[in-house]
């Protein structure tokens, strides 16, 4: 391992500009003649729009649905049989289907002036009955979100399995209901874009805070009726994404349309209130699980019914059915479960569309599965971590294809549990529980384990029916005349440190100093096509492609270098940024000089592609890599106040070869913190009329530094046999187990009270209610 | 319009501002100092934290019109500051930033902690930092960076 290559905790190259306030986010940009947009939004969850009254004399600055000539509604179909796609309009015309839906757009010289104008617009509505709860939505008497459907089911899937034997052999049968709340993703920078029409290139240029510039380009071209060559999407610095910035939103279509119509740049910056009430939400799963187990805790079968509240519309490009479809396939987790059956429902409701958030579907899945495991352990009086180990796929079973047809390539999940149990010191926690706390708080211990399928390939996405299936990922590398390197990737870095880590990959192959490299990303005009950064795929896919492109470059450099050294090509090697032969060496700057400036010195049979190469890559097989991890935590719960403090939190994870362990750890910590947010704090609640009840950070609880513990982390390294350098995807994983293990710890703490909670966020009010209910039940008995 | 004169990063700035213009908007839009970020515009997330008269404050809920005569320092103003230099190095060494959006506000608060509370321990650092939200790091690198600078300065 070189000090700069794969495996080094190289400090990030991007830090300097951020630490000096010199980042460049969309909100920081100002273009000549730029106007700003504000939107009039629906105050009703479900209503008919009967009239729009524009303020007199300002009609030319105010736009309703009928004014967006040529703009198509967004349609994100799925190939999954029976899926009902829905048209998501840029501006609602006849009907609004959630509070916050865009109805009218207003233009001003500043945002404040645009908002002033929006205040003057009057819209007449006729209220309709809303659909607010996903379980109610399944009932035949429910109002309908899309009348023409006849029901509220966007998609139903069924994974059949025979449960007879499991039911017959089971010593115990456990049934539980779990609910994970709807929440917002809350990157610190919300959505943002500036659209401008550039006459010279005949292009719509969109500066867009996105993770997936090429997919945004596809969507904008399709819905605006432009040719692809007429759209360029550029993502500058992006202040966090977590899945939020992978799709096209109505405001963006409006801004693009108006930029072209007026010939002026149009800016829209989503404010926090808009983010919390009107932007796409995430999570909101309901599970009904029946587990069959032997008296020593071996799970014989899992029977699951999954319902996801997908909101009002399908959203481009990932649809609103990915969550439920993935949940059905992921419930078995890292466990070897012989019999499995799952029915899933994707329900529409009068709430904002639901899109994948970090850990896509699996945070809910792990919450249901791992809390069921602990319920089994509690019922049998066994240690939950031992029940986990008993049920896990063992290393000697690898490679292993589970009951839901997921293929694990390598790893040792039981070892991760054992290490986590050792770090958290189970015996000491049990002794502490027995001794009791002087302040009367209750101590609880919880574990959560998962596998994270990542970098899902063509075959996996094709099976999900999504119409943006990733194929071969490409990367471009180019030696500059002075011996530096440009790396072009179609993914987009928005906190993951790719401006550093991709240099590390290239350094491992070429030995060039990362300080002499530039990573160009996030610009459809400058990078190879890519479906972008999501699904923990960037390093596996684009990193693999970068490595391969560098190897092509290395061969060509070796040939030129050998010619300059007057030796045989087979006798040279590339090391430390030089071509080294038996009798001498030439630095990369010499190779660059000769190719670009003095080609007369090149060998006569030189490869004409020169010192620039684009290469594609896809792992083989492409079913995705499987990282895995176990987290464990000790909590203290105050039974009088219902408050929870996380006292200790450990992470043991294995993502194969780590390109930059510091960055991997940072992703684990950040993910776990978001998971704790889901577990304890974050919720976007709605009243029975579909009104959002959390519209500021006073109502929407974000975890801060006093709520998040100082995580302790250990890495395991089992390289993937299927990928370049053995890398596995891992960016999302940290979020997955935290709700489950915090829930398990709380239920462990509550054991003596007889209370059990299976719903996030596990707020003080829910804890108090559960304790009260248990105590009332006991009194009644 | 209200006329104000403030000292912004060492320079005297006079301007007419609307009563409703926040100090953050004035700094970002009128003065084009975009290192100060807006994360919530209602005074909770701390991304817009800057120094006003030596005290870290939310520039999103401070009106520019009320800041007449103030000395204002933003992230762009600390290039000659030893504490900030140490913090910047430590934030990189401890991976105290990912997307970078909360970072200027974090540094403003961090510098205040280091200069005002030289004996602060981890618990105190977390408490002092509780007015700044970060969605990426889980606070681990930020807290460790501040502790490292406190440690270094204690010798």
pLDDT digits (tens, 9 = 90+) for A32-70: 999 999 999 999 999 999 999 999 999 999 999 999 999
Alpha helices in A226-299 (DSSP H): 250-262, 272-278
Percent of chain A predicted with pLDDT > 90: 93
Give which of A662, A530, A509 is closest to A15, Cα–Cα.
A662
Mean pLDDT of A463-490: 92
Best interface-test mutation with B: which of A705, A708, A709 has the largest number of B CBs within 10 A?
A705
Chain A residue numbers with beta carbons less than 8 Å from the beta carbon of B127 are 705-706
Tokens, residue A151: 């029901």
Which residue, among A238, A487, A451, A398, has the nearest Cα to A721 in the 3D structure? A398
Question: Using CB atoms and an 8 Å cut-off, which of residues 23-62 of chain B contact chain A?
Answer: 28-29, 32-42, 44-45, 47
CA A252 – CA A258 distance, rounded (Å): 10
Interface contact A698-B44, CB threshold 8 A = yes
Of A242, A495, A708, the CB nearest to B138: A708
Angle (CA) A682 A683 A684, round 5°? 140
When CB atoms are compared, the residue of A112, A272, A696 closest to B39 is A272
d(CA A629, CA A116): 51
Taking CA atoms, A182 is separated from A179, A352, A532, B39, in Å, by 9, 10, 25, 21
Interface residue B97 vs chain A (CB under 8 A) = yes
**Which residue do the tokens 């390598």 mark?**
A410
Residue A75 reports pLDDT greater than 60: yes
**What share of chain A has pLDDT > 70, as a percent?**
100
CA nearest to B35 within chain A: A21
Q: Would you say residue A465 has pLDDT above 80?
A: no
Closest residue in A to B139 (Cα–Cα): A705
pTM for this prediction: 0.97
Do the Cβ atoms of A679 and A746 come closer than 8 Å?
no
State the complex-level ipTM: 0.98
Flag whether pLDDT at A1 surpasses 70.
no
- What residues of B are in contact with residue A108 (Cβ under 8 Å)? none
CB contact under 8 A, B99 and A112: no
Strands A712-716 and A644-654: parallel
Q: How far does B155 lie from chain A, in Å, by closest CA? A: 24
Task: Dump pLDDT digits (tens) for A741-771.
Answer: 999 999 999 999 999 999 999 999 999 999 9
Q: What is the pLDDT of residues A299-323, one digit of tens each?
A: 999 999 999 999 999 999 988 898 9
Question: How close are the terminal C-alpha atoms of chain A, in Å?
Answer: 66
pLDDT of residue A460: 83
- State how far the Cα of B82 lies from the Cα of A778, in Å rounded to an integer: 63
| The Cα angle at residue A545 between residues A355 and A530, in degrees rounded to 5 | 35
Helix axes B103-116, B82-93, angle to 10 degrees: 120
Q: Which residues of chain B have pLDDT under 50?
A: none
Task: Tell me the pLDDT tens digit for each residue of B21-61.
Answer: 999 999 999 999 999 999 999 999 999 999 999 999 999 99
Chain B residues with CB-CB distance to A237 below 8 A: 99-100
CA A755 to each of CA A470, A661, A758, A772, A780: distance values in angstroms, whole numbers, following the listed order? 46, 41, 10, 8, 15
Can you give the pLDDT at residue B37? Answer: 98
pLDDT confidence of residue A20: 98
3-class secondary structure, B139: coil
Whether the pLDDT of residue A410 is over 90: the answer is: no
Q: What is the pLDDT of residue A80?
A: 87
Distance between A358 CA and the closest CA of chain B, angstroms: 11
Mean per-residue pLDDT over chain A, rounded: 96
The whole-angstrom separation of Cα A117 and Cα A400 is 61
Give the pLDDT band of residue A144 (cuts 50, 70, 90).
very high
């Amino acid at each position: 391992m070189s000090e700069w290559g794969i495996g080094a905790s190289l400090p990030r190259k991007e830090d300097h500009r951020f630490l000096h306030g010199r980042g460049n986010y969309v909100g920081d940009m100002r273009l000549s003649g730029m106007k700003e947009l504000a939107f009039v939004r629906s105050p009703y969850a479900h209503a008919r729009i009967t009239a729009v009254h524009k303020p007199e004399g300002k009609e030319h600055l105010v736009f309703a649905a009928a004014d967006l000539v040529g703009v198509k509604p967004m349609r994100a179909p799925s190939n999954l049989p029976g899926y009902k796609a829905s048209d998501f309009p840029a501006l609602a015309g006849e009907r609004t289907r959630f509070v916050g839906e865009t109805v009218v757009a207003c233009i001003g010289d500043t945002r404040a002036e645009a908002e002033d104008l929006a205040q003057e617009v009057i819209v007449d509505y006729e209220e309709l009955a809303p659909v607010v709860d996903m379980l109610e939505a399944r009932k035949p008497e429910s109002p309908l979100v899309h009348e023409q459907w006849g029901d509220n089911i966007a998609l139903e899937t069924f994974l059949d399995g025979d449960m007879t034997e499991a039911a017959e052999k089971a010593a115990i049968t456990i049934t539980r209901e779990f609910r994970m709340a709807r929440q917002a993703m809350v990157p610190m920078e919300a959505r943002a874009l500036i659209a401008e029409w550039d006459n010279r290139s005949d292009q719509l240029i969109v500066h867009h805070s996105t993770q997936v510039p090429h997919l945004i380009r596809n969507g904008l071209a399709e819905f605006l009726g432009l040719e692809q060559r007429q759209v360029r999407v550029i993502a500058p610095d992006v202040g966090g994404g977590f899945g939020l910035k992978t799709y096209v939103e109505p405001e963006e279509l409006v801004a693009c349309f108006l930029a072209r119509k007026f010939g002026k740049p149009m800016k829209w910056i989503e404010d926090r209130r808009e983010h919390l009430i009107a932007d796409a939400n995430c999570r909101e799963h309901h599970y009904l699980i029946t587990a069959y187990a032997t008296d020593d805790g071996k799970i014989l079968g899992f029977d699951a019914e999954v319902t996801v509240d997908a909101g009002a519309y399908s959203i481009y490009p990932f649809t609103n059915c990915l969550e439920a479809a993935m949940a059905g396939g992921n419930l078995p987790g890292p466990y070897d479960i012989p019999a499995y059956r799952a029915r899933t429902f994707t329900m529409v409701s009068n709430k904002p569309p639901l899109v994948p958030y970090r850990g896509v579907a699996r945070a809910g899945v792990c919450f249901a599965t791992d809390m069921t495991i602990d319920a089994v352990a509690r019922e049998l009086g066994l240690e939950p971590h031992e029940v986990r180990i008993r049920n896990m796929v063992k290393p000697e079973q690898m490679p292993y294809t589970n009951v839901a047809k997921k293929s694990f390539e390598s790893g040792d999940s039981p070892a991760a549990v054992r290490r986590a149990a050792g770090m958290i010191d189970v015996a000491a926690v049990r002794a502490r529980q027995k001794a009791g706390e002087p302040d009367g708080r209750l101590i609880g211990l919880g574990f959560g384990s998962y596998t994270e399928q990542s970098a899902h390939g063509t075959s996996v996405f094709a099976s999900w029916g999504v119409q943006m299936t990733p194929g071969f990922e490409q990367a471009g590398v180019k030696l500059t005349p002075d011996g530096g390197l440009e790396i072009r990737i179609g993914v987009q870095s928005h906190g993951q440190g790719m401006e550093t880590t991709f240099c590390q990959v290239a350094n491992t192959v070429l030995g060039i100093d990362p300080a002499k490299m530039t990573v160009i990303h996030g610009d459809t005009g400058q990078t190879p096509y890519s479906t972008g950064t999501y699904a923990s795929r960037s390093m596996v896919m684009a990193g693999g492609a970068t490595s391969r492109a560098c190897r092509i470059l290395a061969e060509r450099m070796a040939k030129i270098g050998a010619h300059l050294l007057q030796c045989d090509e087979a006798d040279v090697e590339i090391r430390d940024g030089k071509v080294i032969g038996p009798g001498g060496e030439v630095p990369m700057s010499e190779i660059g000089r000769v190719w670009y400036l003095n080609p007369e010195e090149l060998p006569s049979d030189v490869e004409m592609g020169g010192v620039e190469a684009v290469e594609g890559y896809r792992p083989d097989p492409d079913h995705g890599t499987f990282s895995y991890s176990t987290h464990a935590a000790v909590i203290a719960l105050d039974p009088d106040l219902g408050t929870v403090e996380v006292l200790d939190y450990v992470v043991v994870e294995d993502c194969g070869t780590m390109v930059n362990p510091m960055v991997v750890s940072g992703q684990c910590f950040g993910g776990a913190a978001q998971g704790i947010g889901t577990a304890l704090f974050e919720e976007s609640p709605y009243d029975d009329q579909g009104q959002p009840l959390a519209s500021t950070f006073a109502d929407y609880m974000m975890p801060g530094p006093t709520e998040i513990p100082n995580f302790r982390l250990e890495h395991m390294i089992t390289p993937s046999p299927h990928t370049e350098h053995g890398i596995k995807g891992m960016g999302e994983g940290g979020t997955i187990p935290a709700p489950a293990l915090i829930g398990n710890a709380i239920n462990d703490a509550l054991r003596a009270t007889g209370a059990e909670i299976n719903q996030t966020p596990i707020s003080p009010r829910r804890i108090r209610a559960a304790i009260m209910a248990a105590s009332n039940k006991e009194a009644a008995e | 319009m209200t006329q104000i004169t403030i000292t912004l990063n060492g320079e005297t700035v006079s301007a007419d501002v609307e009563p409703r213009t926040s100090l953050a908007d004035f700094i970002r839009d009128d003065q084009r100092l975009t290192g100060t970020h807006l994360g919530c515009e209602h005074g909770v997330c701390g991304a817009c934290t800057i120094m006003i008269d030596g005290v870290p404050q939310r520039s999103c809920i401070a009106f520019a019109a009320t800041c007449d005569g103030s000395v204002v320092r933003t992230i762009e103003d600390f290039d000659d500051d030893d504490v900030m230099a140490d913090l910047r190095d430590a934030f990189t060494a401890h991976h105290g930033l990912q997307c970078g959006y909360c970072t200027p506000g974090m540094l403003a608060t961090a510098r205040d902690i280091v200069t005002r509370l030289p004996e602060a321990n981890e618990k105190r650092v977390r408490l002092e930092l509780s007015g700044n939200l970060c969605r990426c790091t889980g606070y681990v690198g930020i807290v460790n960076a501040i502790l490292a600078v406190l440690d270094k300065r204690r010798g």
